[in-house]
Amino acid sequence: MTTLDPSVFDPTRLSLSDLRHRRSLKWSAYGPELLPAWVAEMDFELAEPIRSMLRDVVDRSDLGYPPRAAATSVRESFARRMADRFSFSVDPDLVLVLSEVVQGIALAVDTLTEPGEGVLVQTPVYPPFLEVVRQAGRRLVETPLAEGPEGFGVDLEEFERVVRAERPAMLLLCHPHNPTGRSFTAAELAAVGRIAAEAGMVVVSDEIHADLVFDGRRHVPMAVAAPEVAPRCVTLSSASKAFNLAGLRCAVGAAGSAELLRRLEARPAHLRGGLSSPGMWATVVAWEECGDWLEGVVAYLQEGRDQVDRALAAMPGVSWHAPEATYLGWLDFSESGLGPDPAPWVEEHAGVVCSRGLDFGSPGAHHARLNFATSHDVLEAILERLASALRSKA
Ligand SMILES: Cc1ncc(COP(=O)(O)O)c(C=O)c1O
């Protein structure tokens, strides 16, 4: 067990009743008979420096328009963080401040590809990747991640074959990968990047989960692993996953060149939407002052991951590859006889809400995604419910 300093991070402070009083999507969408383990929110208290900053904003009734300096601080803070944590050199002047990472994906697809052009995604994948491409009228080119005994990975031969055959203009990379929890290695990324660069593709790398990496691994940004792709890469990130700030709406997109930034900024600013000042302030506080809190969260999530791993090993009909990153687990129910869409059965019979695997693309059949970012007690209850439902079915 990791020793956590409860004055910095105390995962047990919020009771089930506190959580049920939350207004956010995860806890408000379902009734009290269900335990929600779906949308990617964490059930922990915010880091104290963020709470204190937000309290101060409220106490001063300080919710006027955001000053220009707020976005500048986000850009500079992001560049510092990338250099310090990932040896990734980012020019703050090439960073776009956005309200959300998915907005960044949509903007990149809209401005860096043409209608009808192909956009490559590695499925299963976070559903907005698929929605954005379809809604933009681009051609969705799917290449499934390969599953082996050790977990999911990129089948490079197949990836290259699809790139050559389909000539996609863009790769949408999810790294670390939601929902499989893979943290791709530098070698995998270098190979993917080389193929993409040779094919003249733009790479959009969603690295929102970069801070949530387990077992002492170090996240390697795509633009670092594959320098030849860096000038044609847009790296997207935010503090919203690692620090649980999704409702504050702030994200960043780092363009690999001035030309890419110019194209991303080509749409009228008002169509791109405004920014939230508390979101920008909280992002900077998270990145600059909440390192100890994050360390506690990652250690705790890793223990939760191990708790799920032990429990699944004893359950009939379900398995996973323990995630290397993220607080999301990709549960494989193919041995359970539940058919291609197990999540509704799990909800009805176990009282646990997971995300539906089929929403993540065709390899999502027979799967459901479990969010394990909750206290180990709530997690135990989730796992007991799941085990008991599967046992009574078996
Ligand atoms: C890979 C990935 N990208 C983006 C998002 C959402 O980010 P945002 O709310 O900033 O759009 C999530 C949320 O779970 C995610 O897992």
What per-residue confidence (pLDDT) applies to 4?
77
Q: Give the residue ranges of DSSP H helices in 101-244.
A: 101-112, 127-135, 156-166, 186-198, 222-225
Candidate from 38, 129, 235, 241 with most ligand 1 atoms within 8 A of CB, to mutate: 241
C-alpha 188: how far from chain center: 19
- Return the residue whose CA atom lies nearest to atom 14 of ligand 1: 40
Ligand 1 pocket test target in 208, 236, 369 with most atoms within 8 Å of CB = 208
**Tokens 């904003």 sit on residue:** 57
Q: Is the beta carbon of 251 within 6 A of some atom in ligand 1?
A: yes
> What is the position in ligand 1's atom list of the atom closest to the CA of 103?
11
Q: Do residues 45 and 37 make contact, with C-beta atoms less than 8 angstroms apart?
A: no
Give yes or no for residue 100 CB within 6 A of ligand 1: yes
Whether residue 160 has its Cβ less than 6 Å from ligand 1: no
Angle, helices 186-198 vs 156-166, to 10°: value is: 20
Q: At what angle do helices 68-86 and 277-289 cross, to 10 degrees?
A: 30
Contact of 265 with 112, CB cutoff 8 Å: no
Distance from the alpha carbon of residue 126 to the mean position of ligand 1, in angstroms: 8
- Rounded CA-CA distance 109/112 in Å is 6
| Residue (of 243, 209, 231) closest to 86 by Cα position | 209
- Distance from the alpha carbon of residue 208 to the mean position of ligand 1, in angstroms: 7
pTM beyond 0.95: yes
Instruction: Determine if ligand 1 sits within 6 Å of the CB of residue 178.
Output: yes
Element (H, E) at 306: helix 291-313
Whether 99 is in the pocket of ligand 1, judged by its Cβ within 6 Å, is no
Ordered domains of the chain (ranges, CATH): 16-46+291-393 (3.90.1150.10), 68-289 (3.40.640.10)
Report the separation in Å between the CA atom of 322 and the middle of ligand 1, taken as the mean of its atom positions.
Answer: 21
Counting from 1 in the atom list of ligand 1, the atom nearest the Cα of 177 is: 1
Q: Residues 318, 391: contact at Cβ < 8 Å?
A: no
How many whole angstroms from 128 Cα to the centroid of ligand 1?
Answer: 8
d(CA 108, CA 68): 23
- Whether the link from the prior residue into 176 is cis, omega within 30° of 0, is yes
Give pLDDT tens digits along the chain (394 positions).
567 788 999 999 999 999 999 999 999 999 999 999 999 999 999 999 999 999 999 999 999 999 999 999 999 999 999 999 999 999 999 999 999 999 999 999 999 999 999 999 999 999 999 999 999 999 999 999 999 999 999 999 999 999 999 999 999 999 999 999 999 999 999 999 999 999 999 999 999 999 999 999 999 999 999 999 999 999 999 999 999 999 999 999 999 999 999 999 999 999 989 999 999 999 999 999 999 999 999 999 999 999 999 999 999 999 999 999 999 999 999 999 999 999 999 999 999 999 999 999 999 999 999 999 999 999 999 999 999 999 998 7
CA–CA separation, 244 vs 241, rounded Å?
Answer: 5
Q: How many helices (H) and strands (E) does the chain have?
A: 15, 14
Q: How far is the CA of 187 from the centre of ligand 1 (A)?
A: 25
Give the closest residue (by CA) to ligand 1 atom 13. Answer: 40
C-alpha–C-alpha distance, residues 292 and 295, integer Å: 5
Identify the pLDDT of residue 1: 56
168: left (phi over 0), alpha (psi -120 to 50) or beta: beta
Asked whether the beta carbons of 116 and 137 are under 8 A apart, the reply is: yes
Whole-number Å distance, alpha carbon 102 to ligand 1 midpoint, is 6
Dihedral, 240, 241, 244, 250 alpha carbons, nearest 10: 0
